[in-house]
Structure 1
Amino acid sequence: MALLQDDPQHTTPAVGTPDLVTDAPSAEPAPSEETLARARELLAAHPVADGHNGLARAIRSAPWSDIELGESTLDTDIPRLRAGGVGAQFWSLHPGPSDTGCAVSGVLEHIDYVRAMVGAYPEALRLALSSGEVGDARCCGRIASLLGPAEAPAIGSSLGTLRALHALGVRALTLTGTDWAPPTGLTRFGQEVVREMNRVGMVVDLSGTTPETMRAALTVSRAPVVLTRSGAHALTPHPANVPDDVLSALRENGGLCMVPFDAARTGSSVRDVADHLDHVRSLAGPGCVGLSGTYDTGAARPGALRDAGSYPYLIAELLDRGWPEADLARLTWENLQQVLRDAEFTAKAAQERRGPSTARIEELDA
């Protein structure tokens, strides 16, 4: 698979131009240069571990793309990831609206693409399958590349398929689109899926599920859960956003709500996104909030957060609101690392107690 192709009609923006990485749009007040410089210094020390990026899907419609030099047709490329201070990225394996066919084949194709992309740019990207490998990538100046989240239809009703996807590197699964995770919660087989995810060390992603399913998963899971792209329902009543009681429950679970840069879910400005972060932090605590750029997913962008180079504008806004550096470090890097470590610890303990589950949906949900 060719990741870079020449196209006579395609032009690549010059890397480092003001329009690419430095100027905030005039529609929203820009932070002071001093605050923006502080934000960039903070991100150099505490890079962003981002929860969701759709590049693997988006680039299929732009096969000529050059993500190494800069790509104006996409939200994401390596120069902007660097400018944005991104140190780790979950590359989404979700299918697009036009994708058809076997769900597991779609996930396998996404895995193949992400692995090929990482292999093509070894000076910038490094595949990471554990919290330790995420840290190693950062120490080597690479962007740690995590596989996931995938959507639950990719495993069908097979725990063996779940384990196979984990063996291929998938580290998060979104519990939507299946009979065993209906809007009313989790069936008995769905509960067993969560337990087996805990056992192998795959993170449970609850974004897009109903509050009933969120509550059911929090009851069953012994490892932290994540919401890879969800804001606060109390501020924006979008169906993918999280009610306050679930945010409060995240504190005990040690889970993570990763607030997206999505105008439909979190508002049309940087300040709106910051309001969601304030709300999540106040209810769940500073250890349970993270960032989700949701770039290259087709979502409308809030204000200055228009591409993967824009994270400093949000950090500048939070600095102006008085967020201490310790909380900002948790927000950008430490919280997701802690979730990964806790998931690995839970998996190790579970594997010492029992072997792979042999449960079948026809036995549990008959």
Structure 2
Amino acid sequence: MLSKVISAVYFLLCVTSFVFTSAQDPYLTKALQLMSETPLIDGHNDLPWQLRKLNNNQLNQVDLNTINSTHTSIPKIKEGRLGAQFWSAYVPCTTQYKDAVRQTIEQIDVVHRMCQKYPETFMFATSSQDIMEAFRLNKTASLIGVEGGHSIDSSLGTLRMMYQLGVRYLTLTHSCNTPWADNWRVDTGTDPSEHDGLSPFGKQVVLEMNRLGMLVDLAHVTEKVMNQALDISKAPVIFSHSSAYSVCPHKRNVPDDILRRVNQTRGIVMVNFYNDYVTCSPFANLSNVADHFDHIKTVGGAGILGFGGDYDGVTRVPVGLEDVSKVPHLVAELLRRGWTDEEVKAALGENLLRVLREVEEVRDSLNATSPDDVPIPYDEVQNSCRTNYGYPDPPESGGAVHVFSTAALLLTLTLQGLITSA
């Protein structure tokens, strides 16, 4: 009870502060008005991982009304006018081939429990309709994105079950290769390419995500994977937390030719606030982040923009964007730079809502398509922690299992393409 009183008092102080500040800044006044009409939808926040690091997911030991060691808290969410958040169900690459699935499920669980513990603030959401309903109720719609293909352990069945648990995007890689996709570090020369982008099974993953209605997230992948996914995906793709490569030439950012392809395929790039991706240095400010918004709008149009702050997943954030409460000031800066109301509202949430609706439409158009149940070839995932139940015993001559399985994968992909084009 005391924590709720403290939260209410803090909220009133924040509102009072905003009223006073906005009286001095007409752009902030306008920003707050637009945010009252269109939900701010953020593509990536790692608060669930902070809850694991700080308290081993013991949510009963944490009060999100009073926590001050994170970029995100309930008072900061309210002050920042956060309409919807994709919470990241992230586990490190060190879990790959070990317990990645278990740990990811535990991160999904903590998001569900956040919504159950704070129903006055969070509403669990899985659809574009849910986001708008939460906005109507003045709650933060809470969606889940799994950050890293290693979390599904090369299993389409696991992918499907995560969708059933509410996961609405999968980042194809994090900062390590999976048995079916190359990660962004390949483009830096730090990691070797293992698949020349996506393997045949990686293309299966993308198509099964289309069938499910799960957003394909290309943050953290190589440029080759970006192009391959854009080639084969039947639905718009997202970059949940990436910025513009031309402004900061970091391989986690999006090159101009990809920005133009995202425009052509009606996807979205949700701008990351991490200093290293904003200025390619440890130091950045709010204006530097706005430069990325300006550049992406110039190259790809206002229709591909969104917000993907990466709060609580990074060690450095820009001056002026110290936590989630500060985002209205970035919106004000865009208005100050001459952005129209329509362009701002598109970036706030209308673009993501459109993308999500189109992904849902593709899902509905494929509802007669059977789930893909062709497994990844065993020799592509064989390791000391993995059993081979269901796979045929390899023949004495060796190699035949792999040839057969890869042929089956290629046949499946070809047939899916023929069925869709028919």
What is the TM-score of this pair, normalised by structure 2? 0.78
Query: Between Structure 1 and Structure 2, which shows a larger proportion of helix residues?
Result: 2
- Aligned equivalent of 1:278, options 285, 294, 305: 294
CA distance in 1: counterparts of 2:265 and 2:23, whole angstroms: 35
Moved >6 Å (runs of 4+):
11-14, 17-21, 97-100
Q: Tell me what 1:203 maps to.
A: 215
User: Is 1:262 aligned to 2:274, yes or no?
Assistant: yes
- Aligned equivalent of 1:215, options 223, 227, 240: 227
Instruction: Judge conservation of contact 1:13–1:72 (CA < 8 Å) in 2.
Output: no
Higher relative contact order (CA 8 A, sep 6+): 1
- Aligned equivalent of 1:139, options 130, 136, 140: 136
Structure 2 counterpart of 1:15, which letter? Answer: Y
String of CA shifts for 1:118-163, please: whole Å, max 9, x gaps: 0001111000011111111111111100011332111122111111
Instruction: Judge conservation of contact 2:147–2:172 (CA < 8 Å) in 1.
Output: no
User: Is 1:35 aligned to 2:47, yes or no?
Assistant: no
Question: 1:180-191, aligned counterparts within 5 Å?
Answer: 180-182=180-182, 183=193, 184-191=196-203
Moved more, 338-347 or 92-101: 92-101
Report the CA distance between 1:356 and its aligned residue.
0.5
User: Is 1:15 aligned to 2:7, yes or no?
Assistant: no
CA distance in 1: counterparts of 2:321 and 2:350, whole angstroms: 22
Report the CA distance between 1:34 and its aligned residue.
2.2
Q: Secondary structure at the match of 2:261?
A: helix
Q: Tell me what 1:52 maps to.
A: 44
CA distance in 2: counterparts of 1:297 and 1:102, whole angstroms: 21
Question: 1:125-204, aligned counterparts within 5 Å?
Answer: 125-176=122-173, 177-182=177-182, 183=193, 184-204=196-216
Q: Tell me what 1:349 maps to.
A: 365
Q: Secondary structure at the match of 1:171?
A: strand
Q: Secondary structure at the match of 2:83?
A: strand
Q: Tell me what 1:364 maps to.
A: 406
Report the CA distance between 1:316 and its aligned residue.
1.0
Report the CA distance between 1:33 and its aligned residue.
2.3
- Aligned equivalent of 1:80, options 57, 71, 76: 76
CA distance in 1: counterparts of 2:199 and 2:95, whole angstroms: 27
Question: 1:314-353, aligned counterparts within 5 Å?
Answer: 314-352=330-368
Report the CA distance between 1:266 and its aligned residue.
1.1
Instruction: Judge conservation of contact 1:75–1:307 (CA < 8 Å) in 2.
Output: yes
Q: In structure 2, do the counterparts of structure 1 residues 77 and 161 end up closer, same or farther at CA, with 3 Å as the change threshold?
A: same
Q: Tell me what 1:119 maps to.
A: 116
Instruction: Judge conservation of contact 2:43–2:241 (CA < 8 Å) in 1.
Output: yes
Structure 1 counterpart of 2:374, which letter? Answer: A
Instruction: Judge conservation of contact 2:14–2:79 (CA < 8 Å) in 1.
Output: no
Q: Which runs of 5+ in 1 are unaligned?
A: 24-29
Q: Secondary structure at the match of 2:371?
A: coil
User: Is 1:65 aligned to 2:62, yes or no?
Assistant: yes
Structure 2 counterpart of 1:179, which letter? Answer: P
CA distance in 2: counterparts of 1:306 and 1:13, whole angstroms: 22
Structure 1 counterpart of 2:50, which letter? Answer: A
String of CA shifts for 1:277-301, please: whole Å, max 9, x gaps: 1111112211111001211113311
Q: Tell me what 1:27 maps to.
A: none
Q: In structure 2, do the counterparts of structure 1 residues 127 and 72 end up closer, same or farther at CA, with 3 Å as the change threshold?
A: same
Q: Tell me what 2:381 maps to.
A: none
Report the CA distance between 1:21 and its aligned residue.
10
CA distance in 2: counterparts of 1:21 and 1:65, whole angstroms: 27
CA distance in 1: counterparts of 2:15 and 2:147, whole angstroms: 30
Q: Tell me what 2:190 maps to.
A: none
Q: Tell me what 1:241 maps to.
A: 253
Return the index of the structure with the highest Cα Rg.
Answer: 2
Q: Tell me what 1:296 maps to.
A: 312
Instruction: Judge conservation of contact 2:211–2:366 (CA < 8 Å) in 1.
Output: yes
What is the TM-score of this pair, normalised by structure 1? 0.89
Structure 2 counterpart of 1:36, which letter? Answer: L
CA distance in 2: counterparts of 1:96 and 1:121, whole angstroms: 27
CA distance in 1: counterparts of 2:122 and 2:347, whole angstroms: 22
- Aligned equivalent of 1:313, options 329, 352, 360: 329
String of CA shifts for 1:143-196, please: whole Å, max 9, x gaps: 100011332111122111111111111110011131211253111111111000
Q: Secondary structure at the match of 2:89?
A: coil
Q: Secondary structure at the match of 1:161?
A: helix
Structure 2 counterpart of 1:355, which letter? Answer: S
Instruction: Judge conservation of contact 1:250–1:288 (CA < 8 Å) in 2.
Output: yes
CA distance in 1: counterparts of 2:162 and 2:287, whole angstroms: 38
Q: Secondary structure at the match of 2:167?
A: coil
CA distance in 1: counterparts of 2:221 and 2:53, whole angstroms: 28
Instruction: Judge conservation of contact 1:21–1:310 (CA < 8 Å) in 2.
Output: no
Structure 1 counterpart of 2:28, which letter? Answer: L
CA distance in 1: counterparts of 2:344 and 2:138, whole angstroms: 21
Structure 2 counterpart of 1:131, which letter? Answer: S
Q: Secondary structure at the match of 1:93?
A: strand
CA distance in 1: counterparts of 2:24 and 2:305, whole angstroms: 25
CA distance in 2: counterparts of 1:111 and 1:342, whole angstroms: 24
Q: CA RMSD in A?
A: 2.6
Report the CA distance between 1:361 and its aligned residue.
1.8
Instruction: Judge conservation of contact 1:52–1:149 (CA < 8 Å) in 2.
Output: no
Q: Which runs of 5+ in 2 are unaligned?
A: 56-60, 183-192, 378-404, 410-422
